[in-house]
Structure 1
Amino acid sequence: MKKRWMTGIIIAAGLLVPATVWAAAGTQIKAQLAPHITLLLEGRMIGTPADAPITYNGKTYVPLRLVSESLGYEAKWDGQNNTIAITVPQEDYPLIKNDAVEILTTEGKHDFITSMNSAYFLGGINLDFAYTLTKDVSRPPVIVMEMLNKDQTVLTSETKLLKTKAGTYTDFVIGDKIRLPYSIKMAHEDVTKQMAKDYYFRITIK
């Protein structure tokens, strides 16, 4: 699935149909169904008549799931906590696709060292990858690698320029190291295994 930015969405107004909507506090309000409003994502129409936007109090509202999924995000409803979580599927990267770049393979390697005072470990993720540049470009594409924890918090971010001439290439990114919350007494193989559980990477191509 290609990932796109919110700036690519354009809303064009059309025919309005009356509708009744319930506000969050249970108050009945009058809104307008607008099935002829068209949503364009970088010139491509998204949505169906069942995903009709509404207008209320001079503003246009569109289905959150429609917009989120069109941009490559997941929108999940947690009824128990009345919460909507919008996340990026971890298995679907790169987040932004440069049409001239095709990522062939990625391999993240968890790497760590002992601090200079031998009091703790420093660790990060190094990335080996292969890609094809399908055509010559005037501006070098950029790969951005982020290291995240299980809470999806970005801990480090590294960038690297790619080639400008069409062809297939292999390259690498060395990630910054952070202080790891592990005992310095842990065996090295156990540190690597724990890092693989606690940290992951994602890439963006611009």
Structure 2
Amino acid sequence: MTLATSSPRALLMLALCGLLGIFATSAQAAVVQHFTLAELTAKADIVVHAKVSSESAAWDQGLTKIWTTYGLEVKETIKGAFPAAAQAHARGGSVGRKSQQVAGEATLVKGSEYLLFLWKDSEGRQRCVGMAQGAFLVTTKGQETTAKNSFRGLKLVNVNGKALAEKVGPISGKLSDLITQIKALLPAPAADDKKGGE
């Protein structure tokens, strides 16, 4: 059956299938720039090792987007400081019978620990840098505590928006080693002004 001889109904169904295909593709992954540990550190306003102590979701003022707010119990602050309550925010969540899911968004779990790289958006929300890339799940097996981020729901591209030349995997390692690396990437603190002169 060619398009020239297709019935209007068949053409409509074909168009709908095409649209659904586009929507399915876009819903499967968010296109996001890939960040190295150094880039995550540089772009973050705040880097903390924290435990998620609470979770709540609410509509924005326009009642169009659901945001989830995660309360954090900070175990170590590595960079920056929270202006008020220690919180992280992510798009999506459930309010009553309504739910929204955003591909590639960082989804934290109450009671779990994370190494978080957070940036402040224009509305003051502290969000993960690079979506799921900015949330490293902390796990302990025996005497070893490790952290690993995720590319779940992400299609990674380079700074120019092009496909990555080489396949890359999530960043992982001992939590203590990662924190040491992050601290080494931070600029040296300015020396205190000497008073009285020497």
TM value normalised by structure 1: 0.24
| Larger helix percent | 2
Give me the TM-score of the superposition, normalised by structure 2: 0.25
Comparing both chains, which one has the higher relative contact order based on Cα–Cα distances under 8 Å and sequence gaps of 6 or more?
Answer: 2
The structure with the greater share of residues assigned to strand is 1
- Larger Rg computed on CA atoms: 1
